[in-house]
Amino acid sequence: MSEFWQVNAKKAVAVVFVLLFNFVFFHFFKFQSHIPDPSFKRNKNAIWIGHKWVGENLVDTDYSLLCARLKNGKITDVFAHVGPLDGNGNIEYKKYLYSKEFLMQIKACDPEVRIQAWIGQVERRGGGIIDISRKEIRDSIIATSEIFLQLGFDGIHYNIEPIFSFDENIIDLLKRTHSITKTNSKTLSIASDEIEPFPFAEKLIRIFARRAGFWDKDYYLQVAENVDQIAVMMYDTAIPFAWLYGYAVKWQVEKIATLLNGKVLLFFGVPTYEEERWSFHANAENMFSGIRGISMGLDEIPLEILQDKFGVAIYSEWTTDEVEWKTYKTEWLGSTCHS
Share of the chain above pLDDT 90, in %: 80
Listing DSSP states for 299-321 in one string gives TTS-HHHHTTSEEEEEE-GGG--
Cα separation of 38 and 35, whole Å? 9
Cα separation of 304 and 170, whole Å? 31
Residues 6 or more apart in contact with residue 134 via CB below 8 angstroms = none
Cα separation of 9 and 226, whole Å? 57
Q: Which CATH class is domain 41-333?
A: alpha beta
Cα separation of 332 and 298, whole Å? 12
Instruction: Supply the pLDDT for residue 338.
Output: 38
Which tens digits make up the pLDDT trace of 6-38? 555 555 566 665 565 566 767 788 889 999 888
Q: pLDDT-derived band of residue 284, with 50, 70 and 90 as boundaries?
A: very high
State whether residue 269 is helix, strand or coil: strand
| Nearest alpha-carbon partner for 40 in 319, 311, 327, 322 | 311
State whether residue 92 is helix, strand or coil: coil
> In this structure, are strands 45-49 and 114-122 parallel, antiparallel, or unpaired?
unpaired
Which tens digits make up the pLDDT trace of 174-216? 999 999 999 999 999 999 999 998 888 887 877 777 767 799 9
Contact 48, 317 (CB under 8 A): yes
State whether residue 89 is helix, strand or coil: coil
Instruction: Supply the pLDDT for residue 313.
Output: 98
